[in-house]
Structures are given as structure tokens and as C-alpha cells.
Amino acid sequence: MNNKNNINDKSVLQQKITALGAMLNSANERVIAALILVLVLDVWLGILARYVFHWQIPWTEELARYIMIWGILLAVPCCCYRREHIGLTSLQGFIPGNMKRYVLLLLDLFALAFFIMLAFTGTAFAEKGLSQFSTVYSMPMAIPYAAIPVAFLLAACQTGIAMFRDFDCTYVNEDNLGGTDI
């Protein structure tokens, strides 16, 4: 492999796709930060209401679950962009260099197909949610259900972008998580 790390070493198409991916990811990450912040505030409100003010606010728990699902599922495409989803990659070292790039391409295609399938079936699932309502404040369930098609459509986009960006190149994640054990 050529291991082109520098954006200037890439073709014009790869440069444009890399820039598009970065822009999409930046916007996506800001939304995640905002949602997790709201999530924290919501749970704090629930705690204050329960233990300090002794108010009855029944919706904080339900809201927290749905914000969590939206916020964390939206992080899935960011991890696709940054190639952070964990896999058993130690055996890839045994694949000869020229063949490895096609194996990696094939794996990206599998991932792309999986995310597209989930976005497609998730849309039908969200549509069904239009006629279902949440238990506490009767919100159409289509709103939380929509997290699935939106997040996985974005994941499909970012996987496609990463596939073009990294073909014949080595991607370097500048903000490495350093481990995903929790």
C-alpha cells in the first residue's frame, strides 16, 4: 500500500470526499455534545425534583432514555468516520499487502450494506411509530424510533466516505479514544 497520509497526496475526488466527511462529522459531533449535555441536565432535574424539591416530574426518565438513544446512536456514524468501531484486526496482518486493500474494501462494503439495510427497515419502523404514543407524555413514538434510520443512514454515508478516503491510504485518527473498555 502507498500509505498516503497527507491530504495533498490524495486524488482530487478523495480530497473532496475527505473534506465532506470531516464537515459532516464536525456537525454530527456538535449535535452529540448538545444531546449529551441535555441528557445530563435532564437527569439532574429528575434528581433535584425527586430528592430536593419533592416534585412529581414523571417525564424525566422517559425523556432521558430517548435522548440517550438519539445521542449515542448518532455517535455511531462518528465512530465510522474515525474508524473506531472495534474488530478483531490482529489477523489482518497476515493478509498480503496488495490483497489487504481489497479485503478492507470488501469489509467496508459489508458494513455499508448493513447500515443501508438498517436505515431502510428503520424507516418503515419509524413510520409505524406515528400511530404509537409514549406512555408518559403521549409523544408519537416515531420521534424516538427515527433515531434508527437517521443514525444508520448517516453511518452508511460516513462508511462510504471513509471507504473512498482510505482506499490505498492510511487514516490517522487524531483524537484516538485510547481504549473503549468502560
Partner 1 sequence: MIVGIVFLVLLLLGLPVGIVLGISGMVGLASIGGMHFVALAPSKIFNGLNIFPFLAMPFFILAGEIMNHTGITARLVIFAQVLVGHFRGGLAHTNMLSSVFFSGITGAATADAAAFGRTLVPAMVKQGYSRPFACAVTAAGSIIGPTIPPSGLMVVYGSLMGVSIGGLFATGVLPGLLICIICMLIIAGLGKRKNLPKNADRATLKDIFIAFKSSILALIMPMIILGGILFGVVTPTEAAAVAVAYALFIGAVVYRCISWADLTRMLIRTGRITGVIFLIIASASILGWWLSFEQIPQAIAQAMMSISDNPQVILLLIIALLLIVGTLMDITAMLIILAPVLVPLTEHIGMDPLHAGIVFVLALNLSLMTPPVGACLFVLSSVTGEKIEKIAVELWPFLIGELAILLLIAFMPDITLYLPRLLGF
Contacting residues toward partner 1, per CB under 8 A: 29-30, 32-33, 35-37, 39-40, 43-44, 46-47, 51, 61, 64-65, 68-69, 71-76, 78-79, 82, 84-92, 103, 106-107, 110-111, 114, 117-118, 121-122, 124-126, 144-145, 148-149, 175, 177-182
**Side chain identity at residue 38, one-letter code:** V
Nearer to partner 1, 17 or 111 (CB): 111
CB of 21 to partner 1, least distance (A): 15
Nearer to partner 1, 10 or 141 (CB): 141
164 CA to centre of own chain: 18
Cβ–Cβ < 8 Å for 64, 46? yes
Nearer to partner 1, 5 or 121 (CB): 121
CB of 60 to partner 1, least distance (A): 11
Cell 489482518 belongs to 92
158: cell is 460516513
Q: Which of 78, 32, 103 is nearest to 177 (CA)?
A: 78
The total of other beta-carbon atoms located within 10 Å of residue 143's CB is 14
150 CA to centre of own chain: 10
Nearer to partner 1, 1 or 33 (CB): 33
178: cell is 485510547
CB of 160 to partner 1, least distance (A): 14
Nearer to partner 1, 14 or 46 (CB): 46
Cα(148)–Cα(69) distance, integer angstroms: 9
CB of 20 to partner 1, least distance (A): 19
Q: Which of 4, 17, 23 is nearest to 171 (CA)?
A: 4
CB of 7 to partner 1, least distance (A): 22
